[in-house]
């Protein structure tokens, strides 16, 4: 029986991976033999862009080389209730202000209305569900079909509600009414790509507040705090309808690099030709499909095996579910994994309840107190005891020591080399 508690360095530091198509036996798109690795181009992308910076680099090249006239992407919004919004950039200088990842809810109706009214060739950048929506809309709207020439997709674990940004700022010591904007990927000098910080700008002004994500309680992506329910029924990890997809390469040999690393999937010959034309600005690294899969392994498991489990539970209850590429099934899913997937849904739902309780009591510690036993149960279900002890020890070291000291220890132990 299934576990049923399913609840509602200058120019040479660049990297990426190239894949093509999406047909493959494994849940990874079919691969070409070459891989590209990371990017930091002519100095400006490294401090501004997210891990590797390839999205901003490619968008700038598409503008400079005349493939498009403008880029539709997410940039700083007008106020604290709209920290980030979809906007249009017509130059590389404008494009720079939209670098970095934004884990924040946005909508695209206004920017698409702009595209309808203004002629030109546009590049659209978005997460998988947004790109798919644009593709479908182009089938129905001849104007958008003509004007939106290319789509860049971003590998997505799941989308967060605005509770995520607010919780990070609040726990960093900024009151809810004083939050102006949250930079989710603030880079600290000398830190590995996986050890970044958040920067909170305040309505009242003054110096921004910077806090390492390791010190915050809501930043463990695997816990799925503040995740939209729809994300648990998405099966698109690599933005398969995009012309090219970018994601962070969470692979041990790359994460210790503070400049970051990208995985890239290319599906459009124009994009491939452009990359080939500017190969002197990239460092290329050979890789294989197993390594690409490993860079997003957790996402694939959750959206293949985990999705099959969630669909099965709903089917058993007689509840409607969307039609997905995986079928409702418990085949090959151990009882432990079933409990793990069920607990993830519980974590997601309880995070919303806990945050609302914290707001009502004006005390963020209420959130942590509410979630602590749920997290503890999840860890007990999903992680073997020895691994839990080792993980806790690593977390304590990472939290207690400066990032530079952690990196030095890893190097001494042989874990920091390329």
Contact 246, 55 (CB under 8 A): yes
Question: Which pLDDT score is estimated for 388?
Answer: 66
Q: Write the CA distances from 9 to 93, 191, 284, integer angstroms.
A: 22, 13, 15
d(CA 37, CA 56): 15
Q: What is the pTM of this model?
A: 0.82
Map 91-110 to HEC letters. CHHHHHCCCCCCCCCCCCHH
Number of H helices, E strands in the chain: 16, 11
Pairing of strands 70-79, 82-89: antiparallel
Tokens 């996402």, residue located = 299
- The pLDDT score that the predictor gives to residue 260 is 63
Q: Where are the alpha helices (DSSP H) in 141-255?
A: 142-147, 162-171, 252-255
Q: SS3 string of 121-172?
A: CEEEEECHHHHHHHHHHHHHCHHHHHHEEEEEEECCCCCECHHHHHHHHHHC
The H or E element containing residue 317 is: helix 305-317
pLDDT of residue 247: 84
Residue 4 and residue 330: Cα distance in Å, rounded? Answer: 12
Three-class SS of residue 307?
Answer: helix
CA quadruple 376, 377, 378, 382: dihedral positive or negative? positive
Please answer whether residues 276 and 297 qualify as being in contact, where contact means their C-beta atoms are separated by less than 8 angstroms.
no
Neighbours of 78 (CB within 10 A): 8
Tens digit of pLDDT at every position of the chain (418 positions): 444 333 332 333 333 333 333 333 233 443 333 334 434 333 334 334 444 478 999 999 999 999 999 999 999 999 999 999 999 999 999 998 888 889 999 999 999 999 999 999 999 999 999 999 999 999 999 999 999 999 999 999 999 999 999 999 999 999 999 999 999 988 777 666 567 899 999 999 989 999 999 999 999 999 999 999 999 999 999 899 999 998 877 666 666 655 667 778 889 999 999 998 998 888 766 566 677 777 788 899 999 999 999 999 999 999 999 999 999 999 999 999 999 999 999 999 999 999 999 999 999 999 999 999 999 999 999 887 777 678 777 777 666 666 666 566 555 554 444 3
- Are 100 and 184 within 8 A, CB to CB? yes
Q: Nearest-CA neighbor of 17 among 120, 160, 155?
A: 155
Pairing of strands 179-186, 197-202: antiparallel
Task: Give the pLDDT of residue 40.
Answer: 37
Q: What's the confidence (pLDDT) of residue 390?
A: 80
pLDDT value of position 46: 39
Q: Is 326 exposed, middle or buried (0-12, 13-18, 19+ CB in 10 A)?
A: middle
The dihedral through the CA atoms of 63, 66, 67, 69 has a sign that is positive
pLDDT in the model for residue 53: 76
Residues 308, 330: Cα–Cα separation, whole Å: 7
């Amino acid at each position: 029986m299934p576990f049923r508690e399913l609840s509602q360095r200058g120019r040479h530091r660049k990297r990426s991976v190239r894949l093509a198509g999406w047909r493959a036996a494994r849940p990874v798109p079919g691969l070409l033999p070459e891989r590209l690795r990371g990017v930091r181009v002519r100095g400006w992308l490294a401090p501004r862009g997210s891990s590797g910076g390839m999205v901003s680099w490619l968008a700038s090249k598409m503008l400079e080389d005349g493939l498009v006239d403008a880029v539709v992407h997410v940039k700083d919004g007008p106020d604290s209730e709209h920290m980030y919004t979809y906007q249009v950039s017509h130059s590389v200088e404008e494009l720079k202000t939209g670098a970095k990842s934004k884990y924040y809810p946005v909508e695209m109706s206004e920017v698409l209305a702009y595209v309808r009214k203004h002629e030109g060739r546009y590049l659209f950048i978005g997460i998988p569900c947004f790109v798919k929506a644009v593709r479908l809309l182009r089938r129905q709207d001849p104007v958008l079909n003509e004007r939106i020439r290319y789509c860049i997709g971003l590998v997505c674990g799941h989308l967060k509600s605005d509770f995520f940004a607010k919780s990070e700022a609040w726990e960093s010591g900024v009151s809810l009414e004083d939050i102006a904007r949250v930079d989710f990927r603030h880079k600290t000098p000398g830190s590995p790509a996986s050890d970044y910080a958040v920067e909170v700008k305040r309505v009242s002004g003054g110096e921004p507040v910077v806090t390492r994500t390791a010190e915050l309680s809501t930043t463990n992506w695997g816990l799925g705090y503040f995740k939209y329910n729809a994300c648990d029924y998405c099966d698109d990890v690599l933005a398969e309808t995009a012309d090219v997809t970018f994601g962070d390469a969470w692979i041990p040999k790359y994460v210790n690099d503070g400049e970051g690393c990208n995985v890239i999937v290319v599906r459009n010959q124009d994009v491939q030709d452009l990359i080939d034309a500017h190969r002197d600005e990239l460092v290329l690294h050979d890789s294989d499909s197993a390594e690409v899969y490993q860079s997003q392994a957790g996402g694939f498991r959750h959206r293949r095996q985990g999705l099959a489990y969630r669909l099965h539970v709903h089917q058993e209850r007689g509840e409607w579910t969307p039609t997905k590429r995986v079928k409702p099934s418990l085949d090959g899913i151990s009882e432990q994994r079933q409990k793990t997937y069920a607990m993830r849904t519980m974590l997601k739902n309880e995070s919303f309840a806990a945050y609302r309780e914290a707001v009502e009591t004006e005390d963020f510690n209420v959130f942590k107190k509410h979630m602590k036993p749920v997290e503890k149960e999840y860890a007990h279900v999903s992680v073997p005891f020895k691994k839990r002890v080792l993980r806790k020890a690593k977390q304590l070291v990472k939290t207690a020591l400066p990032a530079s000291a952690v990196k030095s220890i890893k190097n001494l132990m042989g874990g920091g080399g390329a």
